[in-house]
Amino acid sequence: MLYGALEAGGTKMVCAIGDENGKILERAKFPTETPETTMPQIFEFFKDKGIAAIGIACFGPIDLKKDSPTYGAITSTPKTAWKNYNIVNATKEALGVPVGFDTDVNGSMLGEATWGCAKGISDAIYLTIGTGVGGGVISNGKLLHGMLHPELGHVRLPLVPNDPGKSVCPYHDNCLEGLASGPSLKARWGVSADQLADKEEVWEIESTYIATALMGYAVTLSPQKIILGGGVMHQEQMFPLIRKKFKELMNGYIVTEEMDNLDDYIVPPSLNDDQGIMGAIKLAIDAE
């Protein structure tokens, strides 16, 4: 069986044809411009490929409430051309197949839970730290939606002493996204993350914010694994720092196998950056 997968991002649209094992057979990429220019290219790619369903892992915020009149729409995005665009309805109409739909980060979480390092785990987190900070969550074996969907980048954090904490989040003074996203690194140090690789003080502060947030997620969502992806996490020297600080912050309060083995608890993605598009394949499989 063939499935369509669309990883709809703010800068590019990744399309793929995959099978029921998550194997990617063909792929294409289009820049995210406007629905009018971009979507026809996407539909053209999927047309006549014989897909049984399509999954869309989409930038947000999006309306995921199945009983909502605007289910399937991109809602209050700053990318105004896409605001209120109903990507699910448009895709269903153009391709005539069932459409699975979730957030981009829930897509990555689902990819890792289906074919990656979170396989067989009922409770896990996929956090991406890049231009923004967001997270997908599996809770009790299913993607977490609840009221809306998690917005993990917006937990409030105590400032690191002497960090002026100029939050880049337009909504929150001292949230994780405001203090630890790529743009916040640039605001704090004047240059972008990849130019700061050898600056210890940069990663000292960065890893403290990330570890503090992870400690909060750990006592709230009780995950069995935490996966850290996104551009900023390409600075892999941070993993040992984050684990060390997480351990100090937790201070032995929770006693579990996971806490005894943080190298296997706080980990990078396992699917060669295909976790998102593979998650979209799984969204298609589940929608069929």
Q: Which residues bind a second copy (CB under 8 A)?
A: 61, 75-76, 122-123, 139-142, 144-159, 171-172, 174, 212, 215-224, 249, 251-256, 258
Bridge-based pairing state of the strands 133-139 and 142-143 = antiparallel
Cβ distance to a second copy smaller for residue 42 or 127: 127
Cβ distance to a second copy smaller for residue 197 or 254: 254
| Residue 139: count of CB within 10 angstroms of its CB | 17
Q: State the minimum distance, in angstroms, from the CB of residue 70 to a second copy.
A: 11
Cβ distance to a second copy smaller for residue 131 or 139: 139
Q: State the minimum distance, in angstroms, from the CB of residue 225 to a second copy.
A: 9
CB 77 within 8 A of CB 246: no
Distance of CA 254 to the CA centre of its chain: 26
Cβ distance to a second copy smaller for residue 52 or 144: 144
Q: State the minimum distance, in angstroms, from the CB of residue 21 to a second copy.
A: 26
Measured CA to CA, the distance from residue 261 to residue 125 in angstroms comes to: 17
CB 89 within 8 A of CB 72: yes
Cβ distance to a second copy smaller for residue 143 or 278: 143
Measured CA to CA, the distance from residue 240 to residue 127 in angstroms comes to: 17
Q: State the minimum distance, in angstroms, from the CB of residue 65 to a second copy.
A: 9
Q: State the minimum distance, in angstroms, from the CB of residue 251 to a second copy.
A: 5
* AA identity, residue 52: A
Measured CA to CA, the distance from residue 270 to residue 126 in angstroms comes to: 11
